[in-house]
Amino acid sequence: MAAGPNWGTLPSVIIVEILSYLSRKDRLKTSSVCKRWRSCLFHPTLWQKVTYKLGSMYRQQAKFLADTCGRFVRETTIEFNSHNSIEVRECCRILDVLANNKNTQALSIRPSSCHVEWPSVAGTDLVDRFLDNIEAVLRNSRKLQHFSLGYAEELLQYSCDFLLQLADHHSNHLESLHLASIKEDSESYGIIELNTAPFERFSCLHTLSIDYDHLTNNLLELFANNRKAKLRKLTLHVHGVEPDHQGVRNETWRKLRNYCPQLGVTINLIHSTEGTHRLLDILQVHMPLVHFRQFFCTNINVAAINYIATHFGNTLRSVYIMDGLLQGLPSLYHSTTPEDPFVMLAWRCSKLEHFTLIGYAMSEEDVVAIARLRGDQLKSLVLPENCLHQGESPDDLQTWANIGEVSDNFSHKVSEGLGQTWHPLRDDELHPAILNFHADAESAYMNILLQDQTW
């Protein structure tokens, strides 16, 4: 009615309103109607959230979007190959644009690795430009609510500086903060001195990821404060565990849980043999454990698994354990009781929805038991075919020779228990690091961990 016979004469406010109901793909198609419709395509209200993918297929698109929307977009995610010098430079260029964007509410940097290959640019170290741009974002944005560096080790070394900037400029806005790191060599790494005092100034923070090295009773007690928002998600990365680490008392977890009844804790052990040995020191009865994961830790602490089954039956939702095969064979975990610890976990943990065990031998009878105990509540059950066997634990050469062989109706039994079609993973469905000791293990778990930092 407003346009008469000519859709091109519609008021821009109406065109923008129409475009707001469409998917991004449909907006692009609709913009071909005429020049006027195309001119409305990049209205700031339509581009409040942008993900820049810097791979060769998307690089030109990312460059165009950065130049067009970078100065007004509110939520920015940058995904790039941190071992590709072109993509590292382009990420820095996008940060150049974002540095002057006062509307930024969320910044997520998602490198493919915890290590970035920093090319020099005209004699200037690129890491310095990264740091300057990130600090400019922290200074200039008016209401930053989410900040994530995606485990980039060279950037996380400056966590203290970022933390102070965040406390100075965004103490009343910041809701989600991610400072956890990945240490590929958990036995030898430097621990940065992280001053946790600025956490006292954050009044809205409800999501936090941090290394266990920096977790203290004093830090958690800051969040059991009636002047603060209630913490809802806490992610802990365990690498090495220093002998003088005091740990967090059960009483501290009790206080925090009483003040934050919706709090869920995720524990990620990464290349951490020491972490598995000290797991019973880390776990406490009042810790509201929701997700437990360990990646390439070379062993399973069965006593800790039993502890988890006993004390976190009302909170635990997922278990994810991944390890490599030794000369093509799975490892064993030895239980002091006749019952398999993971069967007991499935029985006692009424909210368990996801279970993954890769790199360890498990009998088909125990797998069927897990499927029947959890039923259709178990949304995913991930086990490799070459880790399964019939009968008892494979403690003799004959049984080892039959590893990977299961009954003809095995998959049917599991499918019947789960109420959905199921099959174990074939070798070609496994990540190369599972089968090859020399393959890059980091790429096997990086995307899983990055999901913890999603805003």
Nearby residues of 78 by Cβ (< 8 Å), 6 or more positions away: 51, 52, 54, 91, 94, 95, 108, 109, 110
List the pLDDT tens digit at each of the 455 positions of the chain. 555 667 667 788 888 788 888 887 888 788 777 777 777 777 878 788 999 999 988 888 889 888 888 889 999 999 999 999 999 999 999 999 999 999 999 999 999 999 998 887 655 688 889 999 999 999 999 999 999 999 999 899 999 999 999 999 999 999 999 999 999 887 778 888 888 899 999 999 999 999 999 999 999 999 998 888 999 999 999 998 887 788 899 999 999 999 999 999 999 999 999 999 999 999 999 999 999 999 999 999 999 999 999 999 999 999 999 999 988 889 988 887 788 999 999 999 999 999 999 999 999 999 999 999 999 999 999 999 999 988 766 555 455 666 878 888 999 999 999 999 999 999 999 999 999 988 889 999 999 999 999 98
Return the domain boundaries, the chain. Answer: 1-43, 47-174
CA 440 to chain centre: 18
Alpha carbons 447 and 79: distance in angstroms, whole number? 11
* pLDDT at 140 (0 to 100): 95
Quote the pLDDT of residue 81: 95
β-pairing, 318-322 vs 146-148, is: unpaired
What is the reported pLDDT for 256? 96
Say what the pLDDT of residue 397 is. 45
pLDDT single digits (tens) 395-404: 554 556 668 7
What architecture is the 1-43 domain classified under in CATH? Up-down Bundle (1.20)
